[in-house]
A and B are shown apart, each in its own frame.
Chain A
Amino acid sequence: MEFKKTENDGIVIYELSGRLDTQSAPDFQAVLDEGFEKDENKIVLDCKNLEYMSSAGLRTILYAKKCIDKNETDKADEISAQKGFLKLINVSDEILEVFEMTGFSEFLSINGSSND
């Protein structure tokens, strides 16, 4: 998998392409970790060019969501403008089906139709 990282007004956008799979997921998780260490907690994953996502990818997404939520709890007193989030946009029907069957769609914001 390859990705392009851009930042706009405190929002970090990762444009993912290829496969978020058992080979690439650990590397991408390390990239996200580097961002979390720099307090990057407004994350958008653009999945327009993502071919597929296996359970290894799901684990990385869950990890990121928990990190952001934990950060929110730790900084509960800060103003709402600082609130972090994780959004997935341009998710294909196939990948969306994986999110739905695993129940991930219940707690993730996907394609802009937030369930949060």
Chain B
Amino acid sequence: MSTPYAKLPRWADYGLIPLINLLVAFAVAGLVVLLVGENPFRAAVILVDGAFGSGPGIAYTLFYATSFIFTGLAVAVAFHGGLFNIGGEGQAYFAGLGVALACLPFDGFLPWYLIFLLAILCSAVFGALWALIPAYLQAKRGSHIVITTIMFNFIASSLMVYMLVDVLKPMGSMAPQTRQFLDGAQLPRLGFLFDYIGMKVRPSVPLNISFLLALLMAFLVWVLIWRTKLGYEIRTMGFSPKAARYAGISETRVIIVTMLISGALAGMMAMNPIMGDQHNVPLDFVAGAGFVGIAVALMGRSHPAGIVPAAILFGMLYQGGAELSFEMPSISRDMIVIIQGLVILFAGALEHMFRPAVQAVFASFSPKSVGVVAAKGEGV
């Protein structure tokens, strides 16, 4: 028996339900704030104001969002193929090596745009390589991709510690990171754009050109999924592996290619903190962006047009959260993580919690505006 709920109009599906989820997440987070003895409304104002109230605030929000767009797209592409790539974290981390490979030998004499192109290529290839092994194991051996990609996160983590401590660390340095990049490997920052809208942004704010690359990738992912033969095959496979087999689509090939693209997108995320902000490859530069990407993809319904705003929302939580812990000392960094966790919980994991209620409301108010998915009668 199919569910007797009517289908929602698109605006409710893509706008109203995420909004309700978000509001509930904030309400629960507000309770937590109340529990530590702070005013939740003031906290909310600080959070939003910190993220969007000033030029630098916005720039930081977009800087964080850049990473989340990449990882969100990575998760989304895999989702379309019916694959759950939890390994964005490890793929991005490993791709840091690719970025180092593109920057360290050449930053003394190549212009930034050539190194940027090289770094796009290297980070994508390294990210893809890290996704290749789980993809191969899934396609050929049936090892579940969720398990293998999680495991590869740990492997990447250990490998990077080894690389940064024992291989890439300059002689005599105490910090487990590569040497500082020269000008050629530092990406141009976009703070100057804010001048045109009358806002001042310090040159030290790390929003950089990889944000534009992220937007371009969002567009290209849309083209890939909905406008190419490969995207058609990925979607067929994601919706129905049996139909894919019937259509003569090679399961092995689609799994591997999808994961390569997913890994490459996750890998490109590495450029944002490394070449845009730190100008070296430090430990733990991914800082959870790979996992946030899962929430971003879920919240954005695996559609680039949803992923970009979802990524900006999480950028807001990161940036506004940092402001909040600064303004309200009793709200520590961990509290921010709790709030982010709640948003992920309600927007991602509990995404369908309010759906039946909303559908019931819609069905009773406007029976004309809803189509039918349920009860098309008998037959197989």
Q: Are these two chains actual partners, yes or no?
A: no
Residues on B close to A: CB < 8 A? none
